[in-house]
Amino acid sequence: MKVLLTGGAGYIGSHTAVELLNAGYEIVIIDDFSNSNENVLNAIKKITNKDFEFYKFDYKDREKLEKVFEENKIDAVINFAGFKAVGESVQKPLEYYYNNVTGAIILLQTMKKYGVKRFIFSSSATVYGNPEKVPITEESKTGGTTNPYGTSKLQIEQILTDLYKSDNTWNICILRYFNPVGAHSSGLIGEEPQGIPNNLMPYIVRVASGELEILSVFGNDYDTPDGTGVRDYIHVVDLSIGHMKALQKLDRSGLYIYNLGTGKGYSVLDIVRNFEEATGQKVKYKIAPRRDGDIATCYADPSKAKAELGWEAKRDLKDMCRDSWNYIQKKKES
Ligand code: UFG
């Protein structure tokens, strides 16, 4: 089976590329390196000892996209080519809607033109807004997103739902990621946010390595066991394996939705403690005001993915912390 990965050089795309290649899939990657670089491609080859087709262009370029479908017999598409910075999306809503929503439409139109109807979409727990109760099941209410990034994910989910209604020979799988962290155990691929990181784990790693001075813990007065925000952190390799399971199991048409999380919630201070224990590094932190748009608690009920895909997260918080740290250390050495 030949799988097209748009944004396949990015953080989650590159880890999924590795898992697919290791499992014997053929892959084609499209990436414009807007949030990655070509070293990632060499790293994927080094880890897997396998080769693949690569095209460098913006996935919204319809002509070039069509050429990829003409040159390759694509069986399935996984779309990782979304912009994903929450704060930036508030500043640049048009860019976010254009890249994420228009891009998805162009991709789906092209798939339709070439008769490819198997699609996996990277969605996010952000579509649940401020959840009424946890753990969050796939049936929980969606909506109430507070930024263009989150709204773009919700809009694409709606588009996919309508598309399936119009033609039920599509095979569409929406994967709602919780908080992906960690890196491949080789230390050759990982997360490389540009500029000052917004997300917790990359920020912690930079404080531990001395690149940033101190972590601001955004609020300690939430209704959680220690007052700090609780999230469901999932190792990026587990998340990537989830995509493969979705490809393997979903060989009949349908519209499927799965949460990909561990089902466990950890607070900001839990993460700091576990990071220190796993790496032996100190993480200096201070309590700061709440961050706008943050919610108190968000974690998944991942039982549907277990029952239907035979998938569950295996790596624990220590693995996530150690692998995040290992990646940065390896990068510094190279
Ligand atoms: N946090 C801090 N200090 C920081 C960064 C984060 O205390 O410097 C806290 C946040 O307040 C929150 C937790 O750490 O309680 C996690 O924050 P992240 O920014 O790492 O992640 P979010 O849960 O806010 O958002 C992530 C992704 C989104 C996705 C969402 C889905 O970044 O893309 O999960 O739940 F939509």
What percentage of the chain carries pLDDT values higher than 90?
95
How far is Cα 1 from Cα 75, in angstroms, rounded to an integer?
Answer: 6
Q: What is the pLDDT of residue 195?
A: 87
Report phi then psi at 102, rounded to 5: -60, -40
How far is Cα 286 from Cα 188, in angstroms, rounded to an integer?
Answer: 32
**Catalytic residue at 299?**
no
Q: What is the pLDDT of residue 251?
A: 83
The residue whose two tokens read 């694509």 is 74
How far is Cα 181 from Cα 119, in angstroms, rounded to an integer?
Answer: 24
Query: What is the arithmetic mean of pLDDT over 107-122?
Result: 98
How far is Cα 65 from Cα 58, in angstroms, rounded to an integer?
Answer: 9
Q: What is the pLDDT of residue 312?
A: 98
Cis amide bond preceding 135, omega within 30: yes
Picking from 10-19, 30-39, 219-228, 243-252, which range would have the lowest pLDDT averaged per residue?
Answer: 243-252
How far is Cα 272 from Cα 281, in angstroms, rounded to an integer?
Answer: 10
**What's the pLDDT tens digit per position in 118-164?**
999 999 999 999 999 999 999 999 999 999 999 999 999 999 999 99
Which residues face 26 on adjacent strands? 2
Query: Which DSSP string corresponds to 242-270?
Result: HHHHHHHH--S-EEEEEEES-S--EEHHH
The dihedral through the CA atoms of 139, 140, 143, 149 has a sign that is: negative
Q: Which ligand 1 atom minimizes the distance to the CA of 295?
A: 15
Q: Which ligand 1 atom minimizes the distance to the CA of 298?
A: 35
Query: What is the arithmetic mean of pLDDT over 305-333?
Result: 96
Q: What is the pLDDT of residue 26?
A: 98
pTM (two decimals): 0.97
Ligand 1 mean position, distance from CA 233 (Å): 10
Q: What is the pLDDT of residue 4?
A: 98
Q: Which residues contact 145 (CB under 8 A, 6 or more apart)?
A: 126, 127, 129, 151, 153, 154
Ligand 1 mean position, distance from CA 178 (Å): 10
**What's the pLDDT tens digit per position in 173-206?**
999 999 999 999 999 999 988 889 999 999 999 9
**Looking at the predicted structure, is the pLDDT value of residue 106 above 90?**
yes
**What's the pLDDT tens digit per position in 39-69?**
999 999 999 999 999 999 999 999 999 999 9
Q: What is the pLDDT of residue 192?
A: 83
Q: Which ligand 1 atom minimizes the distance to the CA of 197?
A: 8
CB of 285 shorter than 6 A to ligand 1: no
Q: What is the pLDDT of residue 165?
A: 98
Ligand 1 mean position, distance from CA 27 (Å): 31
Banded model confidence at residue 332, pLDDT cuts 50, 70, 90: confident
**Looking at the predicted structure, is the pLDDT value of residue 90 above 90?**
yes
Contact by Cβ (8 Å): 159, 104: yes
**Looking at the predicted structure, is the pLDDT value of residue 318 above 90?**
yes
Radius of gyration over every alpha carbon of the chain, rounded to an integer in angstroms: 19
CB of 217 shorter than 6 A to ligand 1: yes
How far is Cα 271 from Cα 56, in angstroms, rounded to an integer?
Answer: 37
**What's the pLDDT tens digit per position in 4-41?**
999 999 999 999 999 999 999 999 999 999 999 999 99
Q: What is the pLDDT of residue 299?
A: 98
Q: Which residues contact 67 (CB under 8 A, 6 or more apart)?
A: none
Supply the angle between the helices 268-279 and 317-333 in degrees, to the nearest 10.
60
Banded model confidence at residue 250, pLDDT cuts 50, 70, 90: confident
Banded model confidence at residue 249, pLDDT cuts 50, 70, 90: confident
> Which two tokens mark 218?
């955004």
Best probe residue, ligand 1, of 200, 214, 220 (max atoms within 8 Å of C-beta): 200
Q: What is the pLDDT of residue 200?
A: 97
Ligand 1 mean position, distance from CA 298 (Å): 10
H helix intervals, the chain:
11-22, 39-48, 62-71, 86-91, 93-96, 103-113, 148-166, 200-208, 236-249, 268-279, 303-309, 317-333
Report phi then psi at 94, rounded to 5: -65, -40
Contact by Cβ (8 Å): 242, 311: yes
Catalytic residue among 11, 149, 258, 327: 149
Helix (H) or strand (E) holding 122: strand 118-124
Residue with CA closest to ligand 1 atom 6: 200
Q: Mean of the per-residue pLDDT values for the chain?
A: 97
